[in-house]
Amino acid sequence: MPDDTRVAVLGAGMHPWGKWGRNFVEYGLVAARDALADAGVLWEDIGFVSGADTIRNGYPGFIAGATFAQALGWTGARVSSCYAACASGAAAIANARAQILAGLCDVALVVGADTTPKGFFAPVGGERKDDPDWLRFHLLGATNPAYFALYARRRMDRFGATDEDFAQVKVKNARHGFSNPNARYRREVTVEEVLASPMVADPLRLLEICATSDGGAALVLSSLEFARRHGAADPLVTVSAVSTVTPRFPNTVIEMPNFSTDSAAGVTGEFDTAGFRPSIARAAYDEAGIGPEDLDLAEVYDLSAALELDWYEDIGLCGEGEAEKLLRDGATTLGGRVPVNPSGGLSCFGEAIPAQAIAQVCECTWQLRGQAPGRQVEGARVAVTANQGLFGHGSSVLLTR
Amino acid sequence: MAKERVPALEGWFTMDEQAPALLGSRCTLCGTYSFPGETHFCANPRCVGTEFESVELSRRGRVWSYTDARYQPPPPYVPAEPYVPFAIAAVELAAEKMVVMGQVVPGVSVEELSVGVEVELVLDTLYEDDDHEYLVWKWRPVVAHKATGGR
Ligand SMILES: [Zn+2]
């Protein structure tokens, strides 16, 4: 491994999240052009295009890298496309970073975009009795919010989390995202309003569950050498670590879309019962030699308001069972010790799957540059993103300036 | 004429209506269980086992967590008309050291569940057509009252 595993974030760009109903290529293109302009890099200078795939938009979605490259105009750039469910964006970042660190290219473009249907995420059509994602809908009627609700209810029964705590996460994120021009929902809400919204999967209510959105996000990444030569803007934000870890056996926490956890019956000796999520950011911290105590902010995957509290513990902001106290003390609100989801999070964006992990990195980049008006974490130097994709895809990116 | 009662999915559970059980597998080398059953590889990374015996999993376990489905799930779920919300539980099996999902029997709401409550496996109708009742496993609380204390 090279001594210095950092790569520069030269540019970040987004197409605003919403329910625009247009082709996903358009969102990716807008985001890519914004990121290139932000970087001051020409499209022709990009050596490697890394696309984050979506399964929803037919073949072009599955081959996102080439699709975006064609939309920008063929230049002969090297290309890759990858799918890692909700973690696709981080996987695409990891691919670009590896190319740069290996010296195979100087500057790379990472793009992800999605167009989503209305309502619950449903599995791909047809009768597919060997696909757990199809079977969990068919045999259990277990939607994504059902799995989020299992974690939420467990927090309540084990740690005394309350309905008000979950609502308070939503209130916080709504306030954070209020002035974010790329957020889809920009409206403050009250605890009462959240608690009055319909129950979807007990104890989670409609306003506590993230929607599905259209959106696009892009990054221009380069070697530090290229950034110096290029005269990149000051302060230079770098990706200091990328974690794309898989779970470790035995994973005894139930994960979407599975029917069961691993069995620990064949394991001799001690094993970690905390499950997969805590290992995700830890791998990024270990890689960078930076710990959670160094963080100024975090962007985490709040698929539900309650899940954000799990992430506080999983990224090391506090110990197990302490997340509610951290929230109640205001530590994770703008102005607090370590604001979480200053962008407004998925709560204000809704999820545009292949773009979301990239969008988290865009937000961290703007925060570390001091370019997040209305939601700026003052003096931020270190930021982390965290996310988990279906079927065992961890995703965490550590950024510093 | 009574409809024929058939499993909604072959091979995942026994059709013993008095004492049904989930059908999993157990690695003959290291003892790791799988549900649904495994035929090719052992989930344990330290094990190279390739032989698996079909086993009936424990019929009782304790609730790891629970929720419900207030809105009708999308296809391929086949809802009753009109739609009736149901509870879902993730249940920890002590011998297998694993957690298994299942619907909770009709009529039991989340109010009657809590982490740690003991449940047992039963068969119940998932959906029907003109000729068949399609059965699936569901969890039913062993005692009707709420358990005291979580774990
Ligand atoms: Zn084995």
The interface predicted TM-score (ipTM) is 0.93
Q: Which residues of B touch A120 (CB under 8 A)?
A: 71, 73-74
3-state secondary structure labels for all residues of chain A: CCCCCCEEEEEEEEEEEECCCCCHHHHHHHHHHHHHHHHCCCHHHCCEEEEECCCCCHHHHHCHHHHHHHHHCCCCCEEEEECECECHHHHHHHHHHHHHHCCCCCEEEEEEEECCCCCCCCCCCCCCCCCHHHHHHHHHCCCHHHHHHHHHHHHHHHHCCCHHHHHHHHHHHHHHHCCCCCCCCCCCCCHHHHHHCCEEECCEEHHHECCECEEEEEEEEECHHHHHHHCCCCCCEEEEEEECCCCCCCCCCCCCCCCECCCCCCCCCCCCCCCCHHHHHHHHHHHHCCCHHHCCEEEECCCEHHHHHHHHHHCCCCCCCCHHHHHHCCCCCCCCCCCECCCCHHHHHCECHHHHHHHHHHHHHHHHHCCCCCCCCCCCCEEEEEEEECCCEEEEEEEEC
> Domain A3-118+213-230's class?
alpha beta
Digit-coded pLDDT (tens) for A132-148: 889 999 999 999 999 99
Q: From the list B71, B98, B103, which residue is nearest A200 (CB)?
A: B71
> Residue B115: which of A158, A249, A264 has the nearest Cβ?
A158
**Residue B150 tokens, joined:** 């979580």
Report the residue from B74, B96, B136 with minimal CB separation from A120: B74
Within an 8 Å CB–CB cutoff, is residue B110 touching chain A? yes
Contacts of B1 (CB under 8 A, 6+ apart): none
CA distance B119 to chain A (A): 16
Q: Confidence band (pLDDT; 50, 70, 90) for A120?
A: low
Residue in B44, B77, B99 closest to A137 by CB: B77
Q: A318-347 pLDDT, tens per residue?
A: 999 999 999 999 999 999 999 999 999 999
pLDDT band, residue A119 (cuts 50/70/90):
low
Expressed in angstroms and rounded, the spacing between residue B31 Cα and the centre of ligand 1 is 6
* B42 Cα distance to chain centroid: 22
Contacts of A141 in chain B (CB under 8 A): 69, 73, 77, 79, 86, 88, 103
Q: What residues flank ion ligand 1 with Cβ within 5 A?
A: B 27, 29-30, 32, 42, 44, 47, 49
Domain coordinates in residue numbering, chain A: 3-118+213-230
Whether residue A329 lies within 8 A of chain B, CB to CB, comes out as no
B34 interface with A at CB cutoff 8 Å:
yes
- Shortest distance between the Cα of B8 and any Cα of chain A, in A, equals 7
Q: How does pLDDT run across A204-214, given as a tens digit for each residue?
A: 999 999 999 99
pTM of the full structure: 0.95
Q: List all residues 6 or more positions away from A163 whose beta carbon is below 8 Å from its beta carbon.
A: A195, A203
* Cβ of residue A283 closer than 8 Å to a chain B Cβ: no
Residue A56: predicted pLDDT: 84
Contact with chain B for residue A321, Cβ under 8 A: no
A143 to chain B: which residues are within 8 Å by CB? Answer: 69, 73-74
Task: Say whether pLDDT at B148 is over 60.
Answer: no
Report the Cα–Cα distance between both ends of chain B, in Å, rounded: 48
